[in-house]
Amino acid sequence: MRTGYVTWCCLCLAVVGWGPAVAGDQLEEARTLARAGQHAEAVPLYEGLIAQTERIQGGDSEEFVSLLHELAVQRHALGEVGEAETLYQRSVDVAQLLGGARSALLVPGLRGLAALAAGKGSIDKALSFNLQALRIQEASNDPRSERARTLAEIGLLSQLQGQDHFAEHFYREVLEIDDGEGLEGTEIATIAGNLGAMCARQDRYLEAEPFYRRAVEVRERLLGPEDPSLASVLFDLANLYLRLDRLPEAAPLLERALRIREKVAPNDLALSDIVSQLAATYHQLGRTTEADLHFGMAKAMLDALCTGREQTEACRSSISTYRESKNLARDAPARIASVPPSSPPPSSPPQLVPEPVRAVAQSDPKPTVTVPPPSAASPSSTVSTPTASPTSTRTGKFYRAQLAARPERDEATQFLHEIRDAYPDLVGSVPAAIVRVDLAERGIWFRIQVGEFDEASGARKLCQKLVDRGHDGCWAVEAVAE
């Protein structure tokens, strides 16, 4: 959360519009560099302007305060915290000397000091600076847009402290000020999403819905319908509808979140949470075949990502989500007759059907070892299998069904033999591969994948057949042959 606040504040530290009467071209050049993110190049220009202004006007002018603040912003952006703090404080001291403790000149420096304090984890100190700035803004009729930004920062700091009541108050004020005038649209979306979450935590679901909807609408309008930031908001709104027993509205939102998330992060736990929730939703809607398939997908993801890491916080959370979803499906009867499907049947246009979870094999240090089916004489096989398939000669993109992952290659190979023995008619004679992946701190893993399909739908159909026959864990993955 602390990192999120620092990122937020970097957006908030916009260069103010004041300017000295001297060296106009040099000032415009410095500001152009600052807006372009070329902070290191802007610093010497600002330093020259400050020296020139101090020489001509003295060190007690509004222009001097403005330049001190703008240089502080550049130092702050470069991570030079000590230098930035000295400059912010100096701008505050000069502003107070010029206009007193209630001068509007103090506001930019106070907000800069607040951002530095928050970055160091001193939330109380950051709140104090921002509240002081807000009091000055309210007394001096500061532009509404500037007040909105200060209110937003106070709301975020209150939320970081767990003071949702105060955060909600300040967030609501932001949204009431000319629809958040002066803030970036994505900041308004973040505030609306935060308000939705606060209301939902207090079981105020009907109040939460318009905030979540606003967050979705703003992000869609500004960033497009497939922007990665939409996935979490869609997931939150879908969960709200599930709590309100509005299942037909929840399912398409989860499907959208799944499509978006799997494109940008096909191997993370947030994706498994979406799949688990979607599986439970499908079950309650009476779409039990799709529910079983998605439960299998979620199980396979957790198997690949959390085996050996079950006690980490992220894995505990996702495993809990999966188990709760399975329990919900077990305890809640399928509503086959009472609730219509929330999306078209499989014969409808494909855009409403979740795409495969993609695990791109070309990122693996040693992508694949193709494993032919075992012969009848194989010591690990107890059932005679069809004739072994030839070694894969595929090139380019294709798809496989991923069945599991194991920490040792021998274990993965043994599992493959066992799965072939268990389902000889489905996977006994199809090409298979053991895919080695390096998951950094999670170590080396070996994924068991079978089949080679031109389309993801072929891999999904194989997964469906395996799940129908009792295999727990399967999802379609994209692979690229060498």
β-strand pairing of 432-438 with 444-453: antiparallel
Closest CA to 438 of 447, 429, 430: 447
Please tell me the predicted confidence (pLDDT) of residue 345: 31
The tokens for 300 are 């396979």
Answer yes or no: are the C-beta atoms of 64 and 50 closer than 8 Å: yes
In terms of C-beta density within 10 A (0-12 exposed, 13-18 middle, 19 or more buried), how is residue 368 classed?
buried
Task: Report whether pLDDT(388) > 80.
Answer: no
Task: Report whether pLDDT(355) > 80.
Answer: no
Please tell me the predicted confidence (pLDDT) of residue 352: 26
Residue 461 pLDDT class (50, 70, 90 cuts): confident
**Pairwise CA distance, residues 479 & 476, whole Å:** 10
C-alpha distances in Å from residue 175, one per residue of 144, 168, 171, 187 = 12, 11, 7, 11
Please tell me the predicted confidence (pLDDT) of residue 260: 92
Please tell me the predicted confidence (pLDDT) of residue 132: 93
Residue 26 pLDDT class (50, 70, 90 cuts): confident
**Pairwise CA distance, residues 359 & 398, whole Å:** 11
- Residue-wise pLDDT tens digits, 27-40: 899 999 999 999 99
Average the pLDDT over 231-245 and give the result: 93
Give the number of other Cβ atoms within 10 Å of residue 183's Cβ.
Answer: 23
**Pairwise CA distance, residues 280 & 320, whole Å:** 13
**Which CATH number is 2-220's, of 2.40.128.120, 3.30.450.40, 1.25.40.10, 3.40.50.2300?**
1.25.40.10
End-to-end CA distance of the chain: 41
> Phi/psi of residue 76, each to 5°?
-60, -45
- Secondary structure, 3-state, the chain: CHHHHHHHHHHHCCCCCCCCCCCHHHHHHHHHHHHCCCHHHHHHHHHHHHHHHHHHHCCCCHHHHHHHHHHHHHHHHCCCHHHHHHHHHHHHHHHHHHHCCCCCCHHHHHHHHHHHHHHCCCHHHHHHHHHHHHHHHHHCCCCHHHHHHHHHHHHHHHHHCCCHHHHHHHHHHHHHCCCCCCCCHHHHHHHHHHHHHHHHHCCCHHHHHHHHHHHHHHHHHHHCCCCCCHHHHHHHHHHHHHHCCCHHHHHHHHHHHHHHHHHHCCCCHHHHHHHHHHHHHHHHCCCHHHHHHHHHHHHHHHHHHHCCCCCCHHHHHHHHHHHHHHHHHHHCCCCCCCCCCCCCCCCCCHHHCCCCCCCCHHHCCCCCEEECCCCCCCCCCCCCCCCCCCCCCCCEEEEEEEEEEECCHHHHHHHHHHHHHHCHHHHCCCCEEEEEEECHHHCEEEEEEEEEECCHHHHHHHHHHHHHCCCCCCEEEEEEEC
Answer yes or no: are the C-beta atoms of 31 and 49 closer than 8 Å: no
Closest CA to 432 of 457, 462, 461: 462
Question: Where exactly are the structural domains of the chain?
Answer: 2-220, 257-337, 361-481
Task: Report whether pLDDT(368) > 80.
Answer: no
**Pairwise CA distance, residues 303 & 445, whole Å:** 11
- Residue-wise pLDDT tens digits, 300-310: 888 888 877 77
Residue 394 pLDDT class (50, 70, 90 cuts): low
- Residue-wise pLDDT tens digits, 39-71: 999 999 999 999 988 888 877 888 899 999 999
Mean pLDDT rounded to a whole number for the chain? 78
Average the pLDDT over 259-282 and give the result: 88
**Pairwise CA distance, residues 215 & 193, whole Å:** 5
- Residue-wise pLDDT tens digits, 185-224: 788 899 999 999 999 988 899 999 999 999 999 999 989 9
The tokens for 179 are 């629809």
Q: Bigger pLDDT: 208 or 358?
A: 208
Average the pLDDT over 415-426 and give the result: 87
**Pairwise CA distance, residues 149 & 151, whole Å:** 5
CATH class for domain 361-481?
Answer: alpha beta
Average the pLDDT over 322-334 and give the result: 82
Answer yes or no: are the C-beta atoms of 66 and 16 closer than 8 Å: yes
Task: Report whether pLDDT(387) > 70.
Answer: no
Report the share of the chain in percent with pLDDT over 90: 34
Report the share of the chain in percent with pLDDT over 70: 79
Residue owning tokens 């298979």: 432
Please tell me the predicted confidence (pLDDT) of residue 371: 45
**Same topology between domain 2-220 and domain 361-481:** no
Task: Report whether pLDDT(379) > 60.
Answer: no
Mean pLDDT lowest among 111-120, 166-175, 322-331: 322-331
**Pairwise CA distance, residues 141 & 154, whole Å:** 18
